[in-house]
Copies of this chain bind each other. A is one copy, B any other.
């Protein structure tokens, strides 16, 4: 019996509602498999935790995460309680960095039965590979002077190492997919970091002569994602551009509530982290309407990462069939609540 240790951080808002429900699905999958069990370590780290302890996670928190095989996260942030930059840099971004989760992967797919805001969603299916450790998200910078003279300076830092490994990951992935990589840039306006990014993209591309490459400025790329999403296969982007493109991807999928994400550690030293694209959605807490699909699809990415691809495939099949049968939460135009969707998926899994 293989025992996998999972750090579970429900976090804030609907994270706390959705995560426990979806653990039932993971347990069902373990039962079906027979040869694996998941052992959960639950952590209450969140904005409420911060109000009590003045930190988002305890001193030994990171060490505890390091001892597990994966981190399963709900959502972090509730600006009514704690400013976002405190909660996120104290938990989500802290884990991404200290567990060296240097790549963020987010697939976006047209799903039968989910109403896209696009008139002709045309069965798009792309993955955004996002640099996850540096770039525009940087604590380097500050302010000078005050009042009318105040100036804020923000540094974006792009290293060859991080830029190159992100781009290489994208090419590797494209090789297993449809063979096209689109690079997001803005080298016409942002004249130091982005020409550097373009140069690395160009150089690295030589190692994959059969992969089709293209470079789009982020403004045009955002526009194309809406007007011709089916064109894209793998998109590679900086931390900020990846962030924007993946929310757009979730938006054209029809709901931010279904989009999954993975923060990948590449060196094997620390666990990877799996968290949906959606946030903590404080406005719908307690209504039972939170969509568990984003979290479950994220679980599928975790299963994949843990070498349990077959279980992941079963889960994805159950997710798609459940949506197809109209068992959907309100954001997808349905009337089911969180628990009903999860129950239905579990029932399906038991029948496979």
Please give the residue numbers on chain A whose beta carbons come within 8 Å of chain B beta carbons, in ascending order. 77, 84-85, 88-89, 93, 115-120, 136-139, 141-143, 147-161, 186-197, 218-220, 222-224, 226-227, 239-240, 243-244, 246-248, 250-252, 256, 279
Q: Which residues on the B side are within 8 Å of A148 (C-beta)?
A: 160-161
A188 to B220, CA, bound (A): 25
Chain copies in the assembled complex: 2
Partner of A89, one of B139, B156, B191: B191
Contact present for B150 and A196 (CB under 8 Å): yes
Contact present for B186 and A240 (CB under 8 Å): yes
Q: Which residues on the B side are within 8 Å of A279 (C-beta)?
A: 220
**With A120-B117, A247-B220, A252-B226 as contacts: A189 and B88 at CB distance below 8 Å:** yes
16 A-B Cβ contacts within 8 A?
A77-B188, A85-B188, A89-B191, A115-B119, A117-B118, A139-B192, A149-B160, A152-B193, A152-B197, A154-B156, A156-B156, A190-B240, A220-B247, A224-B251, A226-B252, A244-B244
A143 to B284, CA, bound (A): 46
A150-B196, A152-B192, A155-B156 known; 19 other A-B pairs, CB under 8 Å? A77-B188, A84-B187, A93-B189, A117-B120, A137-B189, A137-B191, A138-B191, A139-B191, A141-B155, A141-B191, A151-B157, A152-B196, A153-B193, A189-B239, A189-B240, A219-B248, A220-B279, A222-B251, A223-B250
Q: Which residues on the B side are within 8 Å of A187 (C-beta)?
A: 84-85
